[in-house]
């Protein structure tokens, strides 16, 4: 099924950026030598954008997300999210963001409603408002029927939708989605895409990492390609394709796959297992 690519409102560079990183570095100490997972990233994401962050396994996508969401310390450089300095006021950042990580980490002993209500309490809602917000979100992600069932009985797609809902409890300014559709069947993937569009249409900035180029093409107004801890391309999918066509002197329009392969120096053979093209 073909869907219209999301066309975001043009970035307004006069506003405080939703995300800004300068010279972001993550270095892990190791016995022999330090491992540098992220090597000096500069990023600027404007409010209202859906920004895609692409890269092969181990490129530094999740490490970057974990630094921006305060889950991992920053070795060097600075970052602000929703105008708040990540290192100086991590709790202030956490109050303004929503996070859905790769693992859809949920507590299997709770029901969907309990999980969302607890999440609301942790964001400072009273018991009543937390329960109301949980009901609202269950309705949004269409999990009302399963709301009171333990999560261990949920399918992968249901868990992802619930995880997404839990990331929205505090009506975040910026939503971080780390590979939100990995491992989902095509139907569930489409549901998540629709949710992302709906969330973004309501004004939330979305920072999305993905291995699926089709997903980036469908959802993202702008994207960056990271490889070996460095950003190797940045721009809108259309601009990146046009740039490649011009540089390579192609007589046809390249796909985002071609852009990715060109940016990371990979061949189609090497691409297998790294980044996948999936038609949902």
Which positions lie near another protein, rule CB under 8 A?
69-73, 91-92, 94-95, 97, 99, 101-110, 118-119, 121-124, 163, 166
Q: How many CB atoms within 10 Å of residue 49? A: 26
Q: How far is the CB of 157 from another protein (least distance, A)?
A: 17
Any long-range contacts for 270-276 (C-beta under 8 Å, 24+ apart)? 273/57, 274/56, 274/57, 274/211, 275/54, 275/55, 275/56, 275/211, 275/212, 275/213, 276/211, 276/212, 276/213
Q: Compare residues 163 and 258 and give the one whose CB is closer to another protein.
A: 163
Among the listed residues 261, 254, 256, the one whose alpha carbon sits nearest the alpha carbon of residue 56: 261
Cβ at position 177, least distance to another protein in Å: 13
Taking the least distance from each CB to another protein, the nearer of 100 and 259 is 100
Tell me whether residue 104 or residue 259 sits nearer to another protein (CB atom).
104
Q: How far apart are CA 48 and CA 43, in angstroms?
A: 15
* Residue (69 or 209) nearer to another protein, CB: 69
Structural contact between residues 78 and 88, judged by C-beta atoms closer than 8 angstroms = no
Nearest approach in angstroms of CB 10 to another protein is: 30
CB 22, min distance to another protein, A: 21
């Amino acid at each position: 099924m073909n869907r219209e690519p999301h066309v975001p409102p043009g970035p307004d560079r006069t506003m405080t950026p939703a995300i800004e990183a300068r010279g972001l570095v993550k270095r892990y100490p190791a016995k022999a030598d330090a491992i540098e997972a992220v090597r000096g990233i500069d990023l600027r994401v404007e409010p209202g954008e859906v920004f895609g962050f692409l890269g092969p396994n181990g490129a530094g996508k999740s490490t970057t997300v974990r630094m921006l969401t305060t889950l991992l310390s920053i070795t060097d450089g600075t970052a602000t999210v929703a105008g708040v300095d990540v290192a100086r006021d991590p709790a202030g950042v956490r109050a303004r963001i929503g996070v859905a990580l790769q693992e859809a980490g949920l507590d299997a002993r709770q029901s969907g409603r309990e999980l969302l209500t607890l999440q609301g309490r942790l964001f400072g809602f009273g018991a009543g408002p937390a329960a109301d917000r949980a009901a609202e979100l269950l309705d949004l992600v269409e999990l009302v029927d399963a709301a009171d069932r333990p999560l261990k009985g949920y399918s992968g797609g249901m868990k992802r939708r619930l995880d997404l809902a839990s990331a929205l409890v505090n009506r975040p300014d910026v939503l971080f989605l780390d590979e939100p559709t990995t491992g989902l069947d095509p139907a569930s993937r489409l549901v998540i895409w629709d949710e992302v569009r709906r969330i973004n249409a309501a004004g939330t900035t979305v920072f999305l990492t993905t291995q699926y180029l089709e997903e980036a093409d469908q959802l993202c107004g702008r994207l960056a390609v990271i490889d070996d801890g460095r950003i190797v391309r940045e721009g809108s999918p259309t601009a990146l394709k046009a740039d490649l066509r011009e540089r390579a002197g192609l007589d046809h329009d390249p796909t985002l796959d071609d852009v990715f392969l060109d940016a990371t120096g990979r061949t189609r053979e090497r691409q297998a297992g790294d980044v996948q093209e999936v038609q949902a």
